[in-house]
Amino acid sequence: MYTPNSPYESNLNSLLTSLVNSATYSSYNNFTVLGSTQQDIIYGLYQCRGDLAMPDCASCVARAVTRAGDMCRDTCGGTVQLDGCLVKYDNATFLGVEDKNVLLKKCGPSVGYNPEAMGSRDAVLGGLVGLGGPFRVGGSGMVHGVAQCTGDLSFGECQDCIAEAIGRLKSDCGTADYGDLFLGKCYARYSTGGAHDTSQAHGKSDKEGEKKFALIIGLLAGVAILVILLAFLSKICRRQGKLLC
């Protein structure tokens, strides 16, 4: 936690402003804001999905920064992963450091074990590891895969992170028709042509996927409250011999 109206808060606001401004012309950047003391230094970065147009990148980063302000209020660090971008900041340096902590995992429904389909999926995901660059896309038939690292990682670190993400994705999602695994500094996603088609999702505005991938605990609480409320109203109506439509 930091003290309101402190030098750290001023530096944080400066950092977040820099992230938003930079996203209007670059899909990745990192910043370090120095302070008069070690405790006031803050580090931050953003990374947009590699196929986002610059206006969509800027819009995504702006939304992520807004959500960070709402969700991480008065905290020294925060991470927001949306479908189209990542924003991360902290008072402890993390730039150039691998982070394999799981931010988000989502697996689609199982389609049953199909050796041909699973073989194609594994081949596509394996091919992503062999590609160069931080943003990697591959496909074969109905199977599509995508992976990306943050721009502060070296080639070797990126390889290591993507290989870890793909290994966990295949293990955790098994025979699911799609899967997404976001680690702290990279992610891997695939689709076999089911309900979640990454080849289509990546060509759209970030607004559609954002609602699925933002890490908002408050949303879960809101759903729980709604369920309780509906159950309560239903009980009242049954007592009165009426049907709630």
Instruction: Mark whether 34 and 91 lie in a shared domain.
Output: yes
Average pLDDT of the chain to the nearest whole number: 81
Q: What is the pLDDT of residue 233?
A: 37
Rama region for 125: left / alpha / beta (φ>0; ψ in -120 to 50; rest): alpha
The region of weakest confidence among 27-41, 161-175, 200-214 is 200-214
Instruction: Mark whether 118 and 185 lie in a shared domain.
Output: yes
Of the ranges 32-36, 139-143, 184-188, 235-239, which is most confident?
A: 184-188
Instruction: Mark whether 172 and 155 lie in a shared domain.
Output: yes
What letter does residue 38 receive in the DSSP assignment? G
Question: pTM for the complete prediction?
Answer: 0.76
Residue 198 has pLDDT above 70, yes or no: no
- Overall number of domains in the chain: 2
- Examine residue 201 and state whether it is found in any structural domain, yes or no: yes
| Confidence category of residue 5, pLDDT binned at 50, 70, 90 | low
Of 95, 128, 156, the residue that ends a domain is: 95
- Residue span of the structural domain in which 148 resides: 102-209
- Rounded CA-CA distance 239/86 in Å is 50
Instruction: Mark whether 27 and 82 lie in a shared domain.
Output: yes
Contact indicator for 177, 109 with CB cutoff of 8 Å: yes
Instruction: Mark whether 75 and 110 lie in a shared domain.
Output: no
- Examine residue 238 and state whether it is found in any structural domain, yes or no: no
Of 95, 113, 140, the residue that ends a domain is: 95
Residue 237 has pLDDT above 50, yes or no: no
Structure tokens at 186: 């990279």
Report the CATH number that the domain containing residue 145 is assigned in CATH.
Answer: 3.30.430.20
pLDDT digits (tens, 9 = 90+) for 68-82: 988 887 788 999 999
More confident residue, 203 or 59: 59
